[in-house]
Amino acid sequence: WATSVVINWGSRTGWVRTDEKPDIILDLPANEIIPKVKEILKREDDSFTSRQPFVGLIKENPRKALSALAIAGRGGDYPKEFWSPMISELPKDLKPRVRRVFLNRIVRLPVTALVELRHTLSNWLEQNLAATLEFDEDLGWAVYDHVIEGILSGGADATRSGFGEVIRNGEVVIQSRRTFSHAINGPVGKCTQALFQVMPSEEKKAGSLIPYSIKSRIERLFTAPGEGADHTIAITTRNLNWLMFVDPAWAKEWLIPILDLKHPAAEPAWNGYLHCNDMPSIAVAELIKPYFLNLIPWIESLSWEKNYSVRASQWLGLMRMFHPDEPSSPSRNEMRSILRELSDEARNRFISWLGLVGQKNESGWVKYVIPLIREDWPKERQYRTTSSVKAWVGLLDDTGDKFPEVYDSVKTYLVPIETIDHLFYRFTRELGGKEAIAAIFPETTLDLMDKITPQIFTRTSGELQKILELIGDTDTSLIKDSRYLRLIALVEKN
């Protein structure tokens, strides 16, 4: 098969084709295979065909491929270019005897080979540890521990993530490496992931405890050199809600302390936790509330690849709306302070997210969104900006029959803005079989337009004209309203 890679050598350009046919080595004695393949690789430097007969041999006769590598190993030769496919391309349907031979070969690999093969081996463990333990638990853990021993012995260089630098406009973007994204691309992070994937299903009951065989290995990886410890911490804290559920004593001892923003490991701990798909459990929130309340400005000071203050604010918002009486949830004043600390962009994204809360929960607008807007939103003028008004209008056009009630809670935070045309598509047009908002709620729409339209227009607004026409057609009594008269005068003037 041909790979879609174009190569250039001087004036020569072509497609590189990969040939895995093992014919040339299939019938050779095992001791001649590795020397022969090395000879083939030396001869193909200027070829447009990448010959990989050893990969073909692994797929066709894995036992013979293993024998060839074992013989090479007796002479101290553990070639990465052959061991790597031996690990990654190994057929899934191996006979038990061959599988056992393979696992024992891994256990005998020297430290230097383990360091060279760290990414391949950690990938393999992440995908295959569960099946290996099921096949032979003692041998499986021996393989795992041997691989870990090798990686850790390689020091900081061996634990470094494979996640590379981000280049933007030819410049390297300075970003923290103490993140979950780096963890899942690092050998220690992958080995940690493997441990969570082999957690027995019965360990999902409250207080059922994590098996010692797993948590003792996690604890060891917490002290890995270089980036390794960070990667283990990020992977582990991502599972904090569940860990607190099944083994609260262990979670309190090992994980809660590192979420203190002053702890040296706080950055990977919080980055990992903020990758959790669910909001904090009440059990976790009770313990981390003091840190949580100061989290957003702390996040803003870091150089993460993504602004996780948005997720943090949403979690706090959920706790405030859905568990307002829990001591672990932010109070009214605390929520207001949190919203003040957000950047303008993050605050506007919070507004948009409130729209989802209102739409996706039964009585969501009345039970959750409106109370938060009325009681918790910062009242200061500095938080009423052009971008925030646009965010509020975006929220309002998805409120359905709750438009008047939601608008009544929002209108305090609206100010006149210059550019409005693209905001009001839903107000003038039918969508999804529903009438235009201005036709359903003409008086509320008129009040909204009066709130956000400045006294002087510097440009024509076709959308405002359409809205006023629709309001007038729907409720003729509004044509004499002072708000309508002001707006129509602006339209006619421009």
- Kindly report the three-state secondary structure assignment for every residue of the chain: CEEEEEEEECCEEEEEEEECCCHHHHCCCHHHHHHHHHHHHHHCCCCCEEECHHHHHHHHCHHHHHHHHHHHHHCCCCCHHHHHHHHHCCCCCCCHHHHHHHHHHHHHCCHHHHHHCHHHHHHHHHHHHHHHHHHCHHHHHHHHHHHHHHHHHCHHHHHCCCCCCEEECCEEECCCCCCHHHHCCCHHHHHHHHHHHCCCHHHHCCCCCCCHHHHHHHHHHCCCCCCHHHHHHHHHHHCHHHHHHHCHHHHHHHCHHHHCCCCCCHHHHHHHHCCCCCCCCHHHHHHHHHHHCCHHHHHHCCCCCCCCHHHHHHHHHHHHHHCCCCCCCCCHHHHHHHHHHCCHHHHHHHHHHHHHHHHHCCCHHHHHHHHHHHHHCCCCHHHCCHHHHHHHHHHHCCCHHHHHHHHHHHHHHCCCCCCCHHHCHHHHCCECCECCHHHHCHHHHHHHHHHHCCCCCCCCCHHHHHHHHHHHHHCHHHHHCHHHHHHHHHHHHC
Dihedral sign computed on CA atoms, order 487, 489, 492, 494: negative
β-sheet bridge partners, residue 15: 6
Cα distances (Å, whole numbers) of residue 194 to 188, 211, 268, 332: 10, 14, 19, 42
Cα distances (Å, whole numbers) of residue 401 to 82, 171, 427, 435: 66, 50, 13, 11
Tokens 């036992």 appear where? 63
pLDDT of residue 460: 66
- Which amino acid appears at position 151 of this protein? I
Between CA 194 and CA 214 the distance in angstroms is 10
Structure tokens at 121: 């081996």
pLDDT of residue 421: 65
pLDDT of residue 203: 56
Between CA 217 and CA 207 the distance in angstroms is 20
Q: What angle do CA 354, 355, 358 make, to 5 degrees?
A: 85
Structure tokens at 447: 């009040």
Residue ranges in the chain whose pLDDT is less than 50: 1-11
pLDDT of residue 50: 80
In sequence order, what are the residues at sequence separation of 6 or more whose Cβ sits closer than 8 angstroms to the Cβ of residue 265?
229, 230, 233, 258
Q: In a 10 Å sphere around its CB, with 0-12 CB exposed, 13-18 middle and 19+ buried, how is residue 121 labelled? A: buried
Between CA 185 and CA 189 the distance in angstroms is 7
Between CA 336 and CA 207 the distance in angstroms is 36
Closest CA to 243 of 265, 290, 211: 211
- Which amino acid appears at position 254 of this protein? W
Question: Is there a contact between 493 and 459 (Cβ–Cβ < 8 Å)?
Answer: no
Question: Is there a contact between 424 and 470 (Cβ–Cβ < 8 Å)?
Answer: no
pLDDT per residue as tens digits for the range 361-402: 999 999 999 999 999 999 999 999 999 999 999 999 999 999
- Where b means 16+ CB within 10 Å and e means fewer, 308-344 reads bbbbbbbbbbbbbbeebeeebbbeeebbbbbbebbee
For residue 92, how many other CB atoms are within 10 A of its CB? 7
Using DSSP bridges, classify how beta strands 166-168 and 2-9 pair: parallel, antiparallel or unpaired.
unpaired
